Amino acid sequence: MIDRRKFIATSSLAAASLMTMESGIFAASGSQKLKKIGFIEGLIHKELKGDWKAALKKAVDFGFTEIEVGSYLGDSAQDFLSYCKGIGLKPFAGFINFTDKTDELKKNLDSLAELQVEYAINYWPWLTGGPFTLENCKQSAAMLNKIGEMVKKYGLTFCWHNHNKEFIAMEDGLPFDYLMKNTDKDLVKCELDIYWVVKGDADPLGVLKKHSGRIKILHVKDMAQGPAQDFECPGSGIIDFPTIFREAANQGIEHYIVERDNCPDGMACLKSSGAYLKNLTF
């Protein structure tokens, strides 16, 4: 028979421990903030065609410290980098083509070396428009490995960027999972676009957990409410960013890049996104 006093004491201790654990969880889940936020150059493409220096300065004023670029702005890469450094904005990633032609890749990588970026990003790692077949995946995985090998020689990290079609089932699972499984983990990483994962009826949190260590950058783009699932600026849609960011931070992901396709007012989107992300706790 269990002694009544021991039962009460044991139950009280268990309850107290549970409360402590819960308190710790709640504290942890609301105590983190993003250390830095970035944006992709294309978001304010129209504004950058004019006074690009004023446009970038506004972005910094909104709280942004990183930019994902296509090429340098102004007269030279040196002048562009000098201006960015002066206002506290770091070009950290740039575009690379999806090709197995060595000369083309070298030319592309030489341009990225001029920009002193850390990452080379490919936005469409496919030779077709999709939906993708197993054969498509085999071709893409082989080319991703080749590109990744060359990118590494330049001291950069290679990432490929997803869309929703990587989450449409093929003969053998999902194209996204195939590419992650059949590319060299030391050569090929992923820039995960959160919006497109949701658009593909997948769970960004589950994708992060399944492929922990392979995802280096998050594209932070929101989804509007309603059946059209249109693009929206972060903080103005339905995506649960705090839950996603909590897992990402635990994995050591450092780059959170605002993007919105076909944005009617890129600068307004930057302003509202910056205000949301600077103050977000997770």
pLDDT at 30: 86
**What is the Rg, in whole angstroms, of the alpha carbon atoms belonging to the chain?**
22
* Rounded Cα gap, residues 255 and 158, in angstroms: 14
For residue 245, the domain's CATH number is: 3.20.20.150
In this structure, the answer to whether residues 181 and 231 fall within a common structural domain is: yes
Ordered alpha helix ranges (H), the chain:
4-29, 45-48, 52-61, 77-87, 102-115, 134-153, 175-181, 194-199, 204-210, 241-250, 266-279
Domain tally, the chain: 2
* Rounded Cα gap, residues 62 and 267, in angstroms: 10
In this structure, the answer to whether residues 8 and 94 fall within a common structural domain is: no
In this structure, the answer to whether residues 8 and 57 fall within a common structural domain is: no
In this structure, the answer to whether residues 41 and 95 fall within a common structural domain is: yes
Tens-digit pLDDT string for the chain (282 aa):
444 333 333 343 344 333 333 333 333 578 999 999 999 999 999 999 999 999 999 999 999 999 999 999 999 999 999 999 999 999 999 999 999 999 999 999 999 999 999 999 999 999 999 999 999 999 999 999 999 999 999 999 999 999 999 999 999 999 999 999 999 999 999 999 999 999 999 999 999 999 999 999 999 999 999 999 999 999 999 999 999 999 999 999 999 999 999 999 999 999 999 999 999 999
Kindly report the length of the chain.
282
Q: Which domain holds residue 233?
A: 34-279
Please give the structure tokens belonging to residue 175.
């194209």
In this structure, the answer to whether residues 160 and 274 fall within a common structural domain is: yes
In this structure, the answer to whether residues 89 and 224 fall within a common structural domain is: yes
In this structure, the answer to whether residues 19 and 113 fall within a common structural domain is: no
In this structure, the answer to whether residues 20 and 150 fall within a common structural domain is: no
- The amino acid occupying position 278 is K
In this structure, the answer to whether residues 253 and 134 fall within a common structural domain is: yes
Please give the structure tokens belonging to residue 33.
């903030």
In this structure, the answer to whether residues 41 and 16 fall within a common structural domain is: no
In this structure, the answer to whether residues 3 and 69 fall within a common structural domain is: no
